[in-house]
Amino acid sequence: MTGRPPHDPAPDSGTTTGADLHLDLPPDGPRRTALARALRDAVRSGRLAAGTRLPPYRSLAVDLGVARGAVSDAYAELVAEGWFTARQGSGTRVAEGAPVRPARPASGPAQAPRAHAYDLTQGKPDPASFPRGAWSASARRALAAAPDDAFGPGDPRGRPELRRALAEYLARARGVRTDAEHVVVCAGFANGLRLLAGLRPRDWAVEEYGLPFHHGILAAAGVRPHPVPLDGDGARTDALPARARTVLLTPAHQFPTGGPLLPARRTAAVEWARSTGGVILEDDYDGEFRYDRKPVGALQGLAPDQVVHAGSLSKSLSPALRLGWLVLPDALVGQVVAAKGLRESWTSAVDQLTFADFLDSGAYDRHVRRMRHRYRDRRDHLAATLARRAPQVRVTGIAAGLHAVLGLPPGTESAALAAARGAGLLLDGLSEYRHPAAEPLGSAQEGLVVGYAGLGDRGFAEAVEVLAGALGSMCSMTPRSN
């Protein structure tokens, strides 16, 4: 049989069209036979999945260095055998139901099934709520308007369009005092923390409770940590050590315990920085998400020359974007830009341009407001359910953020964690966030850290019922303290 397969589209006028298709052909022998065998093997092995469109036969002939007739005949043979289909306007495709050889199981121990039905770990926004339509619209506008230099090597400070948009947004929404020249775009907060850890003196003050991942970044950079005690009013900034020259704080919503840094303690932190020549690194990880009142402004607004304001999209949009920023005092801008070094750690210029449009169009404000309402309802539902079914467990901290700490009766954290995990819930105990260098007794607290943002509405409602049931049963067996 010769000629094109039935209904195959007309041959391309050039040789630069068509998808790439890798096939190994023997150096001699009939080309049509070898090509048909290679195509069957590609389908059997799963390399060509059902529905995959094959390259036009002229393009494949040029790629493989064979006659066009050999490709046309091989396609026609596989169409006749039922491996391929060919329809006008759709081209030649792998047929549905073509036999696929089962994949050989990987060597090594079998993978254990998932042990948890519900993931309540903190730090994850609802992935189903990502504003795909608005983000796609911003991406289209940003690409259409992008200057040619956006597709070149770029600037380690980040795209100027985004730095300008961020400076305007942070001034309006978070009370930050800055301009585009003091904004440096980075690949999330962790990237910014690594940069600063390599630049600042080794003695850092850190909050007694924090993210172990951040503790690890500082340790890897050789930082000597000095944990600062916490209470219900946030970090005890009156106890900042004199030898430290940098302090890492979460003023808007202490992570993970949930208290705000009260005004007097904000003032004490600024006075410490001014008197010692120190720097405050303000991790504003979820500053937009305050539910019981208007969000408190950034600490940076009190002392732009002493505070580095750091933020990212990990909580508000998605950690997959790898987009963050540092608002820097004048003395640190050049040092941070130089420390960024090779381009490989930079954030995609296309994502930066898209986010700049997302900010300018108001889409980011609309998304944050929408998620603020959703997460507030989630927190309220969690608190109400626990109050009804496990009254000895209390939701602590301010109404803010994407997680809550459940305060527990003394001596019950291990039992509560075991009960929750035994019921199919994945979550953490508060003790896992306490800095290993903190005082052994100090202000140790007991509780569970519950993320209420990552699940869908139905899954979250089910998870809360399971959690309340597990904690209610555990508390009923715990003697009340006198």
Compute the mean pLDDT over every residue in the chain, rounded to the nearest whole number. 88
The percentage of residues in the chain with a pLDDT greater than 90, rounded to a whole number, is 68
| Cα dihedral 155/158/159/164 (nearest 10) | -130
Complete DSSP assignment for 311-371: EESTTTT-GGG--EEEE--HHHHHHHHHHH-SGGGSPPHHHHHHHHHHHHTTHHHHHHHHH
Residues (pLDDT < 50) of the chain are 1-4, 6-17, 103-114, 481-482
Query: pTM of whole model > 0.95?
Result: no
Spatial separation of the C-alpha atoms in residues 78 and 94, rounded to whole Å: 9
What are the structural domains of the chain? 1-106 (1.10.10.10), 130-362 (3.40.640.10), 366-476 (3.90.1150.10)
pLDDT digits (tens, 9 = 90+) for 82-138: 889 988 777 899 998 776 665 444 444 444 434 568 999 999 999 999 999 999 999
Confidence (pLDDT) at 21 = 86
Nearest to 178 by CA among 314, 266, 284: 284
Q: Who's near 219: CB < 8 A, 6+ residues apart?
A: 225
Q: Tokens at residue 420, please? A: 């929750």
Tell me the Ramachandran region of residue 36: left when phi exceeds 0, alpha when psi lies from -120 to 50, beta otherwise. Answer: alpha
pLDDT digits (tens, 9 = 90+) for 400-414: 999 999 999 889 999
